[in-house]
A and B are shown apart, each in its own frame.
Chain A
Amino acid sequence: MKKIILCVVLLVIVTVFSGTLSSCGANRETLNLFNWGAYMSQGDDGLMDVVGEFEKEFGIKVNEQYFDSNEQMYSKLISGSAEFDLLIPSEYMIARLIEEDRLEPLNFAAIPNYEYIDDAYKGSTWGYDSEDKYSVPYTWGLVGLAYNTKQITEPVDSWDMLWNEKYKDKILMFFNPRDCFGIAQKRLGYSMNSTSRDELDAAAEELKKQRPLVSAYIQDEMMEKMISGESYLTPCFAGDGVTIMDSNEDVNVVFPKEGYNIFVDAMVIPKGAKNKANAEKFINFINRPEVALNNILYIQYSTPHTEAYKNLPEEIKSNKIIYPDGETIARAEGFKHLPKETSDYMDDLWQEIKFGN
Chain B
Amino acid sequence: MTRTKKTYTFLVFAFLYAPIVVFIFYSFNQSKSRSNFTGFSLRWYIELMQNDRIISALQNTLVVAVLSALAATLLGTAASLGITALKKAPRALIMNITYLPILNPEIVTGISLMLLFVAAGTFLGISLGFWSVLIAHITFNIPYVILNVMPKIRQTDKNIIDAAMDLGCSAPQAFFKVMLPEITPGIASGALMAFTLSFDNFVISYFTLGSDGFTTLPVNIYTSTRRGLSLEYNALFAILFVTVLIFLILMGIADNKAASKNPNSAKQIRLRN
Contact = CB atoms under 8 A, between A and B. Distances in A.
A80 B121 contact: yes
A228 B213 contact: no
B226 A66 contact: yes
A40 to B, nearest CB: 12
A65 B57 CA distance: 13
Given A20-B60, A82-B128, A65 B226 contact: no
Given A16-B62, A23-B56, A81-B128, A1 B254 contact: yes
Contacts of A355: none
A11 to B, nearest CB: 11
A81 B117 contact: yes
Contacts of A228: 33, 35-36
A169 interface: no
A133 B118 CA distance: 30
Interface residues of A, number: 36
B66 interface: yes
B25 to A, nearest CB: 17
Interface in B100-118: 114, 117-118
B29 to A, nearest CB: 13
Interface residues of B, number: 38
Interface string A61-101: 11111101000000000011111100000000000000000
Q: Report whether over half of chain B's contact residues are helix, strand or loop; otherwise say mixed.
A: helix
A79 B118 contact: yes
B78 interface: no
A37 to B, nearest CB: 4
A63 B36 CA distance: 34
A223 B213 contact: no
A341 interface: no
A23 B56 CA distance: 9
B211 A84 contact: yes
A12 B226 CA distance: 31
B211 A63 contact: yes
Interface in B223-273: 223-228, 247, 250-251, 254-255, 257-258
B42 interface: no
Contacts of B215: 65
Contact of B118 (A17, A20, A37, A81): A81
Interface string A221-264: 10110001000000000000000000000000000000000000
A223 B254 contact: no
A256 B211 CA distance: 39
A20 B52 CA distance: 12
Contacts of A9: 66
A220 B228 CA distance: 8
A63 B215 CA distance: 10
Contacts of B255: 1
Contacts of B250: 4
Contact of A16 (B59, B224, B251): B59
A101 B121 CA distance: 22
Interface SS, A side: mixed
B66 A13 contact: yes
A34 interface: yes
B227 A82 contact: no
A17 B213 CA distance: 17
A80 B122 contact: yes
A300 to B, nearest CB: 13
B211 A37 contact: no
A65 B206 CA distance: 12
A61 B213 contact: yes
B211 A34 contact: yes
Given A1-B251, A30-B212, 16 more contacts: A4-B250, A4-B251, A12-B62, A19-B56, A20-B59, A38-B227, A63-B213, A66-B223, A81-B118, A81-B128, A82-B127, A82-B128, A83-B210, A219-B226, A221-B228, A223-B228
Interface of A: 1, 4-5, 8-9, 12-13, 16-17, 19-20, 23, 30, 32, 34, 37-38, 61-66, 68, 79-84, 219-221, 223-224, 228
26 contacts: A1-B254, A5-B188, A17-B63, A19-B55, A23-B56, A30-B212, A30-B213, A32-B211, A32-B212, A37-B226, A61-B213, A63-B212, A66-B226, A68-B226, A79-B118, A81-B117, A81-B127, A81-B210, A81-B211, A82-B127, A83-B127, A83-B211, A221-B225, A221-B226, A224-B228, A228-B35
Interface of B: 33, 35-36, 55-56, 59-60, 62-63, 66, 114, 117-118, 121-122, 127-128, 188, 209-215, 223-228, 247, 250-251, 254-255, 257-258
